């Protein structure tokens, strides 16, 4: 678990809305992911989680900063190195209804990566059957179309597609948010089983804080394009240091009616990434903000071993 598989250094992804406005979706994010671990990524809608994931896998080109996979800058790869990266890193998308081509059979969807990388020669049908059974489907499903399946089954097809080229690292972008609650646990358990069997590394992007705690070794919290806290999951839930993290965790239901948790309700809406507040981006909603928060952007630093945070309150 000590080997770093992916390292992100001051990554930025900005979108030009007009000559006057630039949307800073990801604005200077740094972290690393160790081989074999699951890093959970949480935050409100619009905080930049999905944009970060898509920039890591080169679906978006970065504006600035570096993404190092096995020590190589992924946005500078060329030729055979790009093909190898596209095999090593795969993505599971949020909405299986939208991410699966309705005109293709399940076999063609799952085998698309095999065809592109020349991995299924002579054994394409057998390989697809093996992958479908691996994710809990039947080999006879190969000749059906996506609309013939339930949401949970479609997500399993998406997982089979991601596994087809035998990746090392999978970015799971809200893989359970479009599923019924009864199916979510099944998909998460499947991802965990596959991780143990194949030594996979995950970036697990989600809204469900209880599910993220269940599956993640460490958790990162994003707000307005920036990482505000990252720590081992048990430590983050037991002792959150950033006011935003505390507010998020206060909303997680406790399965014990005798325990009363004080709910922290944030005032106001998430500011626009195209018009961010000065200093700390969270200060306009933070109940503990001080004048310094409006003047200076807090540094991303290691407050405790393996517990990173960006907040001026640590100096007080």
Tell me the mean pLDDT in the region 280-288: 93
Q: Per-residue pLDDT for 1 more than 50? A: no
More confident residue, 217 or 254: 217
Taking only the tens place, the pLDDT of each residue in 238-270 is: 999 999 999 999 887 776 667 676 778 788 888
Per the structure, the complete domain to which residue 223 belongs is given by 4-315
Q: Per-residue pLDDT for 60 more than 90? A: yes
Q: What are the helix (H) ranges across the chain? A: 49-56, 80-88, 96-99, 106-117, 124-134, 151-163, 181-198, 209-215, 233-238, 243-250, 291-295
> What span, in angstroms and rounded, lies between the C-alpha atoms of 234 and 98?
34
**Which CATH number does the domain housing residue 202 bear?**
3.40.50.300
Classify the C-alpha dihedral 282-284-288-294 as positive or negative.
positive
Burial of 180 (0-12, 13-18, 19+ CB in 10 A): exposed
Determine phi and psi for 293, rounding to 5 degrees: -65, -30
Tell me the mean pLDDT in the region 176-192: 85
Tell me the mean pLDDT in the region 222-229: 96
What's the domain count of the chain? 1
Taking only the tens place, the pLDDT of each residue in 134-181 is: 999 999 999 999 999 998 899 999 999 999 999 999 999 988 887 788
pLDDT of residue 165: 92
As beta bridge partners, residue 69 has: 6, 72
């Amino acid at each position: 678990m000590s080997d770093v598989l992916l390292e992100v250094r001051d990554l930025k992804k900005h979108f030009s809305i007009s000559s006057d406005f630039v949307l800073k979706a990801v604005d200077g994010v740094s972290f690393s992911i160790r081989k074999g671990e699951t890093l959970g990524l949480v935050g409100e809608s619009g905080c930049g989680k999905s944009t970060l994931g898509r920039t890591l896998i080169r679906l978006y080109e970065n504006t600035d900063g570096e993404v190092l996979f096995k020590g190589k800058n992924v946005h500078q790869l060329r030729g055979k190195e790009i093909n190898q990266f596209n095999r090593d890193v795969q993505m599971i998308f949020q909405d299986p209804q939208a991410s699966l081509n309705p005109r293709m059979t399940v076999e063609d969807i799952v085998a698309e990566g095999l065809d592109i990388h020349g991995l299924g020669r002579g054994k394409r049908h057998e390989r697809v059957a093996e992958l479908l059974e691996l994710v809990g489907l039947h080999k006879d499903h190969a000749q059906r179309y996506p609309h013939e399946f339930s949401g949970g089954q479609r997500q399993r097809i998406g997982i089979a597609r991601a596994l087809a080229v035998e990746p090392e690292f999978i970015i799971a972008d809200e893989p359970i948010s479009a599923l019924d609650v009864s199916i979510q646990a099944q998909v998460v358990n499947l991802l965990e089983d596959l991780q143990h069997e194949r030594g996979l590394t995950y970036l697990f992007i989600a809204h469900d804080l209880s599910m993220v705690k269940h599956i993640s070794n460490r958790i990162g919290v994003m707000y307005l394009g920036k990482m505000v806290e990252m720590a081992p999951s048990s430590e983050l839930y037991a002792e959150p240091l950033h006011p935003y993290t505390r507010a998020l965790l206060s909303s997680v239901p406790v399965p014990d009616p005798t325990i009363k948790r004080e709910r922290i309700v944030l005032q106001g809406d998430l500011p626009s990434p195209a018009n961010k507040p000065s200093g700390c981006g969270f200060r306009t909603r933070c109940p503990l903000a001080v004048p310094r928060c409006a003047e200076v952007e807090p540094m991303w630093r290691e407050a405790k071993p393996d517990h990173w945070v960006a907040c001026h309150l640590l100096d007080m």
